[in-house]
Structure formats: structure tokens, C-alpha cells
Structure 1
Amino acid sequence: MTGQEIKEQDLQYNLHSWSKQGNLNPIPVEKSDGIYFWDYAGKRYADMSSQLVNLNLGHGNRQIVEAIKQQADQFCFMGPGYAVESRSRLAKMVIDLLPDNMGKVFFTNAGADANENAIKMARMFTGRNKIFSRYRSYHGSTFGAGNLTGEPRRYPLEPGIPGFVKFFDPYIYREPIEFAGEEAATAFYIAKLREQVHYEGPDNIAAIVLETVTGSNGVIIPPKGYLKGVRKICDDYGIMMICDEVMAGFGRTGKMFAFEHFDVKPDIVTFAKGITCGYVPLGGVAVAKKIAAYFDDHTLLCGLTYSAHPLACAAGVATLNYYKEAHILEQVEKTGKVLGQILEEIKTRHACVGDVRYIGLFSAVELVKDKTTKEPLVAYGQDPQGVMSGIIKQLTAKGFVTYSHENMILVAPPLIITEAQLREMMAILDEVLTDMDQVITTRKTA
């Protein structure tokens, strides 16, 4: 098929997620390699969002591909009730990467059902029903994970499941309070969370769920002491602390898991994306030893036909090996510093950039109409003029592919990106933001 034929058939028969179907113009992809992919006209694009922040090791990693082939030659599928080498090896590898309080893994198909099963386990273990999660969060779009989600993509699921309670994030940039420092902000947010826990009844709360670093909703990095404060609340009331590491895990922030930056030990960790980098779908729930022990004589009421799929587990084993052998964490630490420096320069240089937030190779550029008032470039959850989609189209036309959410542009390239590649691509972002500066200036003087 030609690229045009592929696109026409795609639009005729496929429904695309999170989109008005009549406005779509998907790129027909012919090949990919490293941080790049190409369309059928030969145009090259740099994958500056790692697709959906899951392709951590880039396109065409031969080590992962060969592992999938070897497993396929042995057998492609065996039900989750059987012991299979790839799933046994991967489970141990995951637990070995986690803190010493963690005990076992339940593998899922992706991040949404990882979060679904995590909240089920927390409820079964504690005997409680309420689940806390944050407004600026995305945990998946299935019914349970969608109720866990705080941002507007939860709306089609409402009225939702009873027992899901939302609280506000430590989003210091948009907070009208002028804090003396990060510690002061932490004290404020933790006090408000503790107060809310009190009014919801601590004995009713099974878990507090957080994206360790908020992902698509702005790469919001917790201030100093915040996660320790949440951990203390959980310890005080017997609440399970669940860290959603679906997007932030497996090297994205420069650590294997983002919570390692903040010196806390969760009770439950959910993961997906970077464990196989999308080569085969896989997610999982890692639980503390005390939770694993509970299910020794209590039935685990969780089950999936494709839980711990052999092909996915084989891909996972190869992926985790590659992170170590290729010294990916060290590379992210180095290139992440370069990305941070470039972003700070962009923030200083551009009138349309209100804030930049980054940790490792996980970053967001927040666009505003006015740096002083911090008024967002587009209203919360609204962009009737297609301003943000227009910026993304400009970037794509220049070979820089990513996505936006609200008034933020995500920059999260594959962890294998070189400094030279990073600088080349960020120069494109700089150029497009210069155009947006001119638009803002024109509007102010009109």
C-alpha cells in the first residue's frame, strides 16, 4: 500500500483516541530507527515525546526484538496459571529493582489495568473503600482508572464510582499563595491533605494514589519533603501509598523509579510503558511484602487472560538488561542536565514561556499570554481556536513530534538521545516559540 492508501483506509475504519474524527490527518509511517521515524515521502521526524512517553529505548532496539523472536520460537502464549521462564525472570528483576519492602508482582497489560488492580488490592488488603487521588492526574481511561484520574478525561465516566476522592496537587507555579520556599509549600499542601483525610474518615481510606511526578498534566515535580509528608499521613492512618510510575518509571527521571529521588518507600508501585518500551504491551503492580503475605491465605480477586504474557515478559527482560548494559541512567543524568539548561534559556528568552519543569528527560514547557499574570495561553480544558494544536502542527512540519496538554508542550525524548540530537531538536522548538512570541506581542498591541 502507498502512504496515501494507508491513511485513507485508516481514517475510514479506525477510531483514534481523544480526537474529533473528522479533523484527523495521521502520518503514515514507513519505518523507524533510534529516535526517528519516516513517512512514505521520506520525511524524517524526531520522536520528542517517545510516542506516548513509553518508547524509552527508541525505535528498532535489536536486543528487545531478538528476545521476542526467541520467545515466539519457544511458544507465544501460556496462561497466567503456568510457570514460564520469561515471567519468572522478569518478576524477580522488577522486585530486585525496587526497595527492600517490596515482595511480589502482578503483571497486567498496561498502565490503566495496573492501576485498576492496585486499587482493588489496596481495598482487599485494608478492608476500606475510599481512594484518594489528585485532580491534575491521569491514571488511565478504563472505568476504575478513569475514576482515579482527576483531569477532564474522567468526565464521560461520571457520575462515577463511589469512594473516589480528589485533592489538589502541589502546583506551586499556579498557586496564588507566595510561598517562602519549597518547604513552606510542602507544609501547606500536606496540612490541607491531612485535613481532608480527617474529614473523609481515615478508617475509610484504603489508599492515596499519586503519579510520583505528574505526567501529561504538566510534569509537576513534588516540592521538598512532599512525598515524605504523604508517606507520614499513610503511616499514621494505615493507608496504602500507591506510586503510579507508569510514565515516570524506568529511567525517565534519571532514576529507575521517580520515587527514588524523594527517599520514600511506597506500599504499591504501578508501572507499564518503559518496562517493554511498547514493543509488546505490559504493565504491572508491585506490592509490599506485607500485602503479598496477606494473599497467601486470602484469595487474590484479580485476573487477566494476558497477565504476564510470555512475549511481553521476554521483551521486559531484554529491556531491563539493556537499561543496565547500556548505562541508560548515567546517560539520562548527562543529557537531562543539557535539556534543563536549554529549557532555562528558552524560559528566559521567550515571552510566551511562563515556566519550564524538568527532571531527567521528562519535561514540560508551560505557555502563557503574560509572564507577569501567568495567564495560560489557552483556558483550562479549552482551546477553541486550536492554538496549541497549531503549535504542534508547526513543530511536526519541522520534524519535531510531540504532543500538548492544556497550555503545555511535553518534551520527553527517548532516553538514548544524544546531546547533538537534543540540541538540534530543541533549536526547532526555540524557533516555533519565537513565532508564538510575535503572535502574543501583536495581540497585546492590537
Structure 2
Amino acid sequence: MTKSVTTEISVEELRELDKKHFLHPTTPIKEQQVEGPELIFESGKGIRITDVNGDEYIDGVSSLWNVNVGYGRKELAEAASEQILKLSYGSSFFNQSHEVVIRLATKLASIAPGDLNVSFFTSGGSESNETAFKIVRHYWKLKGRPEKRLIIGLENGYHGVTMGTTSATGVPEFKNMITEIAPGFLHALPHQTECEKGDKSHPNYERSIRGIIEKEGPENIAAVILEPIQGVGGVNIPPEGYLKSVRDLCDEHDIFMITDEVITGFGRTGKMFGVEHWDIVPDLMCVAKGITSGYVQLGAVMMSSKLRDELADMSEGPMFHGFTYSGHPTACAVALKNIEIIENEGLVENAREMGEGLLKGLKYLEENHKITAKARGLGLMAAIELFKDPETGEGFAPELFAAPAVVAACKQRNLILRPLIFGGMNAVAIAPPLISQKQDIETIIEILSDSIKEFEQKVL
């Protein structure tokens, strides 16, 4: 007999049902089938989550870099409940609208950098980036320049898992499951500031954004997409002047600059949006994750009214693009309340202050452990790398799974972090909720230190 959702189920039954019926994202299928889920969460409060066995963990990565205001916020539950009872769903298709989506679009316009005052809503980051690609290619087609279609991303960049965003992603592992990528996507080396400024003598010039533009011809390039800080690819922070050099390069060649703020938006880096650290304004800005702190699915592409007006003037008939849940009333209501919490509780400034303490702690680990180096961070988005020999840069053998081993040791100590192991890297990412306090940061550093020490004793 089939059990209802209200029937009490044992932990072991849950594990077996998970194995039988749930195909997990970004998980080894065989491992899940053999061992079942590693953790089954039941509840969350603040920066901590509790599993079905009653064990409590510090969520040191905000789940997927997205639970910015922490778990269990009653205000967000109430906002969702009130909106569901008032208007559970409202389509934005066919020139229809509703109050809460208008209010959210207006609020985003008031907090976004520069003139990014128009929003197209999606259900998440992949959809936002995919939408940006379609908009810029649509724009150039309307301009009578359909050949201007190539999109340049960066190596180690991550933009999502739809066909277009997978193709734009520069982390090879995400392309391994598909037989071919979508046409029209190229990848440049990240953070080649001097090349982007025009230094043709630089050894990496041909693989820079400018070098690729020169090779392919600017008349064929629609846009450049990049994360202000690369997340999945290693928490890679650009050198000073890099984003400005890309902005200038795009202006020089009439190319759209798209920034992927899916992780860096809504306070994560100690500014409301990551690009604000470098005083540049992109042509399109893609957001998701922190817009609702993960409570409800929502994303957006932001652009200027100038770009929107150009599209309107050149278009005949509808723009044939949209998602069933574009501008979902409940998601918009939660987003409005979430942004209100971020502003009223000073969480952007708190992320900056706590981030300084987090980076200081990681630098301490770098100085006091034999295998740590390259501690880096901005706001509450940070990482530290593990090396067999930090001085020479010699890494650990792949079979040692250095970063996953340290993360597993942290989990045994009730701290959840994330290993970043793409391209041979062994990094540990740390990105706790923006409500984290000084004691929380100190606890994270202490547990991470003990876990690194445990791994050191095994391998050295």
C-alpha cells in the first residue's frame, strides 16, 4: 500500500525510497544507488541545519551559495502564505501583469548598479543566463547583423546546465555528459588584464578576450559573459582593473557585456552586487539564488530601459521567449521581503565585516598548516587551496581526493563546506549565510583547521 505524505516514515525507509525514486543532481548515480543519500535534512534555523538523525550542522556554504538570510525566516514564510492566499499564480504572458511583480521590478531598479532598471524574470540562474544569450542574439538579428552571434565566456567560468549555459561554461567536467555543445560559444583565459588592455606581446594574448575578438572579428561577437568572481571554478577574484578593461573592450567593439551575478548578487561579496567593487556597469546582469535566499525559485535578467526601448522599436509582434513561472507572484513576494531583510538588518555590511574576519582566519590557516596556500575571499565568499608542496605548487595525487577528504572531515565535525576540484584544483569553498556572526566564523575556522590537520597527519 502506498504511504501518504503524512505517514511517518523511518530513516531507513527514507533512504531506500530515495535510492529507488530520486535521481540526484550533481551526484555520482552509482554511489547514491549503493549507499543512499549521505545526509537527509529535516529542518534549518539561522546558519544551522538538522538531519533526520537529529545531528546539527553549520551550513558553511549557504547550501548552494544561496541561503543568504539563513534558514527558518518566519517573515518569508508569511510573505509566501499571504501571497498564495491573495494570488497564487499570475501569468505575465500576453501583456498581463500583477502588482507584486511590478513592485519587485521597481525595487530591483532602485538597488541595481547604473541604469539597469528593467527586469525579465526567470526561475533561476541557468534560465537567466540562457535568456541573456537569446536577448543579445535577438538584438543583433533585429539590427540586421545576424552574424554577430558568438559569445565569449571564460575558462573556469560557470553559468548553468541548460544547453546554452553549459556551452558557455568553462569548466570541462560539466560538458562531459553531452555529446556536443551549442554552436557559437568560445572561451578565453580569465583575468588577463594586460592583454585586454592591448598588450599583444603578452604570451597569453591569443587566448585572451581581446585576442579572440581580433581572431574572430568583432563583427561576429555578440557578447562576453563573466562572473565578477568565479564561483564553482575556484572562487577566483579578478585583479584590479580587469573588469574595467573588459568593459572598455566591449565598448570599443560594440559588444554586450553580460555579468553573471547569480552567486555574487544580493550581498554575498560585501556589496549588493559584485560589480560594485570595481565600479563598472554591465549591459545585462543575471541574478538568482540570493534574490529569495533560496526560499522560492526565482531569477532575473536586468538591462537598461535604453536596451529595452531599442528592442521595442525594432520588434514587430511578441518576443517569443518566456517561462511558465516568469514573475511568479509568490516568488516575487518572497524576493521583496528577502531584500527588505537584507537592507533592514544591514546584511551587506555584515557580509563585508564578517568576510574580513573569515579571510583573516584563512590566512592564519595558510601560515599555520603545511599544505595550505592561496587563501582568498571577498565578503562571505572565500576559498583556500591544498597542496602537497605549497612553495612549488605541487598538488596532491588525484587518488588522495585532498579537498573532498578535508570537507568530509569537516562534516564529521558538523560543518558543511564544499570541495572545488575542477581542473586538478583542490580548494575548499567557504560561504556561510550573511547573518553569520564573529563566533560562527571563528568556529568554522577552528573546525576547518582541525580537519586540515587530520588530513596532514595522514599524508605527510
Task: Give the TM-score of the pair, scaled to structure 2.
Answer: 0.89
Q: Answer yes or no: is the 8 Å Cα contact 1:190–1:229 preserved in 2.
A: no
Q: Answer yes or no: is the 8 Å Cα contact 1:170–1:185 preserved in 2.
A: no
- Per the alignment, residue 175 of structure 1 pairs with none
Counterparts of 1:1-400 in structure 2, within 5 Å, are 1-24=9-32, 25-81=37-93, 82-127=96-141, 128-152=148-172, 153-170=174-191, 192-297=208-313, 298=315, 299-377=318-396, 383-400=398-415
Structure 2: which 5+ runs fail to align? Answer: 1-8, 142-147
CA distance in 2, matches of 1:171, 1:21: 38
Q: Answer yes or no: is the 8 Å Cα contact 2:198–2:210 preserved in 1.
A: no
Q: SS at the partner of 2:300?
A: strand
Q: SS at the partner of 2:281?
A: coil
Equivalent pairs: percent with the same residue? 32
Structure 1 residue 87 displacement after superposition: 0.7
Q: Answer yes or no: is the 8 Å Cα contact 2:40–2:52 preserved in 1.
A: yes
The one-letter amino acid paired with 2:280 is V
Q: Tell me which moved more, 149-158 or 83-92.
A: 149-158
Count of residues in correspondence between the two structures: 428
CA distance in 2, matches of 1:49, 1:171: 28
CA distance in 1, matches of 2:15, 2:192: 40
Deviations for 1:302-349, whole angstroms, at most 9, x for unmatched residues?
Answer: 211111111110110001111111111121121111111101101111
CA distance in 2, matches of 1:211, 1:354: 23
CA distance in 2, matches of 1:78, 1:414: 31
Q: SS at the partner of 1:303?
A: coil
Structure 1 residue 16 displacement after superposition: 1.0
Q: Answer yes or no: is the 8 Å Cα contact 1:253–1:361 preserved in 2.
A: yes
Q: Answer yes or no: is the 8 Å Cα contact 1:78–1:309 preserved in 2.
A: yes
Q: Answer yes or no: is the 8 Å Cα contact 2:46–2:70 preserved in 1.
A: yes
Structure 1 residue 435 displacement after superposition: 1.6
Structure 1 residue 217 displacement after superposition: 1.1
Q: Tell me which moved more, 80-89 or 68-77.
A: 80-89
- Per the alignment, residue 418 of structure 2 pairs with 403
Structure 1 residue 185 displacement after superposition: 11
Q: Answer yes or no: is the 8 Å Cα contact 1:54–1:278 preserved in 2.
A: yes
The one-letter amino acid paired with 2:409 is Q
Q: SS at the partner of 2:392?
A: coil
Q: Answer yes or no: is the 8 Å Cα contact 2:108–2:117 preserved in 1.
A: no
- Per the alignment, residue 444 of structure 1 pairs with none
Counterparts of 1:413-424 in structure 2, within 5 Å, are 413-424=432-443
